[in-house]
Amino acid sequence: MSEAAAHAVPQSQADKLAVQMVGVHKWYGQFHVLKDINLAVEAGERIVICGPSGSGKSTLIRCINRLEEHQRGQIIVDGIELTNDVRKVDEIRREVGMVFQHFNLFPHLTVLENCTLAPIWVKKTPKAEAEEIGMKYLARVKIPEQANKYPGQLSGGQQQRVAIARSLCMNPNIMLFDEPTSALDPEMISEVLDVMVGLAESGMTMLCVTHEMGFARRVANRVIFMDGGEIIEQNNPEEFFNNPQSDRTKLFLSQILHN
């Protein structure tokens, strides 16, 4: 009931929207992984998506930069509709940064080269300028002294911070986080979350798939709960945690908060 009202976005607001998904469906073979997803994300909004494993939350955000293709419905990112047009897809990917669960740094390049590669080759930024930007963001994630090391020489937390810096170097409007802390040792989670909190405070539009509920309470404008490929419930964090509406949400929250 409450979710029906949430995704009805007035047309006047539509041009402010960072991401708009209308009636999106996706199948993996016979498996219906996303069912009628309707989601509107305003610029500057910070959204946390949670849900049990296999609920389609990663697939949802991977559709936004077309790492996964949707088969029905409409996805509009920064005013550009995602279609099979490769140029549009590349255009969107330049605007949308992504941070992965397993960092996916390029192991054959130094930390700084990881940060400058895409700006130099995709955005045609001059090398000196790209390095300056790279160092700026490495400083922002608090590891400028590691710039000339290789990713394999860093800890997991440091690698994930490099991955965030690497995405920021493309100067994205939207950042997607796909379980950024779930592959980390416990003592390294907070250093990554701190960087993400700093990013949120700077006004970045963020969509995070995460189970860090403390993070969700602190920075999210909206928490979305997914199960079975559907958005079951969405609300501001206060209401979401203190007053969950659906039984599945209640069950999920009790499971992750009391283990």
Partner 1 sequence: MTDTTETFAPGTHPDLPPPLGSRGIVKWMRENLFSSATNTVLTLLGAYLIYLAVPAFLDWFILDAVFDAGSRNECWERAGGACWSVVVVRFDQLMYGFYPEELRWRVDLAFLLLFVALAPVLFDKVPGRRYLAIFSIVYPVIAFFLLWGGMGLEPVESAKFGGFMLTVLIGVSGIIASLPLGIVLALGRRSELIVLRVVCICFIEFIRGVPLITLLFIASTLLNYFLPPGSNFDLLLRVLIMVTLFAAAYLAEVIRGGLQAIPKGQFEAAMSMGMSYWKMMGLIVLPQAMKISIPGIVNTFIGLYKDTTLVVIIGLLDPLGLSQSILADSKWQGLSTEIYIFIAIFFFLSCFSMSRYSIYLENKLHRGHKR
Q: Which is nearer to partner 1, 88 or 136 (CB)?
A: 88
163: phi then psi, degrees, rounded to nearest 5: -60, -40
Least gap, CB of 90 to partner 1 (angstroms): 5
Neighbour-count burial for 57-70, b at 16+ CB within 10 Å, e otherwise: bbbbbbbbbbebeb
170 binds partner 1 (CB under 8 A): yes
Element (H, E) at 39: strand 31-42
67 binds partner 1 (CB under 8 A): yes
Torsion of Cα atoms, 234 then 179 then 19 then 2, to 10°: -10
Among 70, 93, 222, 248, the residue binding partner 1 under the rule CB under 8 A is 93
Q: Residues 95-114 vs partner 1: string with x where CB under 8 A?
A: -xxx-x-xxxxxxx------
What residues pair up with 20 in beta bridges, in sequence order? 40, 76
Residue 49's nearest CA partner among 249, 199, 222 is 222
Element (H, E) at 115: helix 111-121
180 binds partner 1 (CB under 8 A): no
10 binds partner 1 (CB under 8 A): no
Region binding partner 1 by CB under 8 A among candidate stretches 134-142, 147-155, 225-233, 245-253:
147-155
Q: Would you tell me which residues interact with partner 1 (CB under 8 A)?
A: 65, 67, 90-91, 93-94, 96-98, 100, 102-108, 117-118, 121-122, 150-153, 166-167, 170
